[in-house]
Copies of this chain bind each other. A is one copy, B any other.
């Protein structure tokens, strides 16, 4: 998975330069988290990273390509998550694994929330690079979930009128949004545990067709 990094002029960069590049990316994430997606500026990023504006352009052609690098980071972190779905949930005992999956998903989401939000925004607006990145990431998880729906339908545990792909996409959307709004949902009296158990219960039932156990 190790990639040879190059500067915008094509030069292969050394250790020190790689560290600077990383600092710029970290600063970008930090600003996305504190300032938000709508007014992210190259100048601010370099200031945050303690570098001159010109430095940014040594490593990235523009803001978009820096964001796309962060998007790739996020996608990599999604692979282990997808691997957790390799073994489908087929008995009530698998509830435990479903619950573990939700916890892992929460960590992933927390790390990359803003980058993913921005990626989706740019993809919705029709940018081809961001579209491709989203599709690639989405498929990692959704395909596995869709497989599970299909298997559950064949086993007679789920109704045939569910479209497996759409169901999987919907479940992912549900999880994303609940994590995203965790803060405001908790304001309304739900605990962190209660929220995650709810996400897990809906996932479990909708994908496997098995009712979750009576107590989480």
Enumerate chain A interface residues (CB-CB to B < 8 A): 35-38, 117, 121-122, 124-126, 135, 159-163, 165-167, 169-171, 173-178, 180-181, 184-185, 188-190, 194-195, 197-199, 201-202, 205-206, 211-216
Contact = CB atoms under 8 A, between A and B. Distances in A.
* Interface SS majority for chain A: helix
A66 to B, nearest CB: 15
B165 A185 contact: yes
Copies in the complex: 2
A167 B177 CA distance: 11
Contacts of A211: 159
Given A163-B190, A174-B174, A185 B169 contact: yes
B37 A184 contact: no
A156 to B, nearest CB: 11
Given A177-B173, A178-B169, A199-B170, A163 B194 contact: yes
Contacts of A160: 214
A202 B167 contact: yes
Contacts of A195: 163, 166
B36 A125 contact: yes
B212 A121 contact: no
A202 B162 contact: yes
Contacts of A169: 177-178, 181, 185
A186 to B, nearest CB: 9
